[in-house]
Chains A and B, each alone.
Chain A
Amino acid sequence: MSLEGKLALVTGGGRGIGRAIALKLASQGADIIVDFFRRRDTAEQTAKDIEALGVKAEVVRANVGDPAKIDEMFDMIGNKFGHLDILISNAASGVGRPIMDIDVKAWEWTMDINARACLLCAQRAAKLMEGRGGKIVSISSLGSHFVLPNYTVVGVSKAALEALTRYLAIELAPQGISVNAIAASAVETEALKFYLKEGLVKDNRQATPAGRMVVPEDVADVVAFLCCEEAFMIRGQTIIVDGGTSVGLFALAGKENNEHS
């Protein structure tokens, strides 16, 4: 699998899952544009690490929750490179609150960054992929299917992202663009440390049949595969990367029941 000569944009590419994706695609030969919003230091470090792999890296700051910033980012890409081969919609944010505390501001903030940005980025990316095709992969989470405490807004935004992935996959297929998503369970990142601290998720190591938590590189490996020609026939899918957690829940519940009987 090679991505030599390809140009990829990774939103939220400076840290966590985005950084791992950026480095993985770079290791396959792609030049990478690293978008960041709040942490320039980690984005610049990621760019240095990408360049150390022998490919080019570009850092761009854009809050993808703001349509004008998305436009500015893609204007820059259009002017500087004139094309794009791969879009990874990874940037995400969220407000963790019980349903009764969710206000319009929390809803819009989360939906704008996690769902609307995927549409707006895909629209602009598709234009830069004209005549050459491309790959779009968005990062979802198991919270789109399963109920996690205080995760309502994020879970709903990810469900929107997954539905959007299906629609994009069909409408952009004639242009040679493959669109898919990945839903991971809790991934060991800085964001997870925050969620653990806030009590939004529990350490699920023991609930993972694969025996360890998902790490960013697990997600990055699947992204890289979806970006290769070998994944040509996978369209509009959300691939679950969770070490078996979601299909193992029932078995685990059964095990606990047995212990109590």
Chain B
Amino acid sequence: MTIEEQIRDIVAKITHVDKSIITRESTFKEIKADSLDVVQALVAVEETFGIEIPDEEAQQFKNFGDFVSYVENHVAQTEKV
């Protein structure tokens, strides 16, 4: 399972939307994620991948794709270390 698929599963579970509607271009609003859903998704993803996503970074995410890219880059960095 790719990082993107795992994050899509986490987000769909939290927002109770069908994961097929979550694309990299989807905004959090489009996937019916309110601010609490976003925080819970961040926490769940942090725990799944063992990383920390600072709020100031998360606030820059414009869509699901930004979220995934951040995690992909961060997990890759951690693995290199």
Report which A residues bind B (CB closer than 8 A): 38-41, 61, 63, 95, 105-106, 109
Contact = CB atoms under 8 A, between A and B. Distances in A.
Interface string B40-72: 100100000000101110000000000000000
Nearest to A109: B36
A79 to B, nearest CB: 21
B52 A61 contact: yes
Contacts of B54: 38-41
A190 to B, nearest CB: 11
A41 to B, nearest CB: 7
Which of B40, B43, B52 gathers the greatest number of chain A CB atoms within 10 Å? Answer: B43
A40 B58 CA distance: 13
B36 A39 contact: no
Contact of A95 (B36, B52, B55, B56): B36
Given A39-B54, A39-B55, A41-B54, A63 B36 contact: no
Interface residues of B, number: 8
12 contacts: A38-B39, A39-B54, A39-B55, A39-B56, A40-B52, A41-B54, A41-B56, A61-B52, A63-B43, A95-B36, A105-B36, A109-B40
Interface of B: 36, 39-40, 43, 52, 54-56
Contacts of A63: 43
A63 B55 CA distance: 14
A222 to B, nearest CB: 29
A201 to B, nearest CB: 17
Contacts of B43: 63
A169 B52 CA distance: 36
Contacts of B36: 95, 105-106, 109
A163 B51 CA distance: 37
A227 B9 CA distance: 46
Nearest to A103: B36
Contacts of B40: 105, 109
Nearest to B14: A105
A172 to B, nearest CB: 31
A63 B42 CA distance: 12
Contacts of B39: 38
Which of B36, B39, B43 gathers the greatest number of chain A CB atoms within 10 Å? Answer: B36
Contacts of A38: 39, 54-55
Nearest to B56: A41
A61 B54 CA distance: 12
Contacts of A61: 52
A236 to B, nearest CB: 32
A41 B54 CA distance: 8
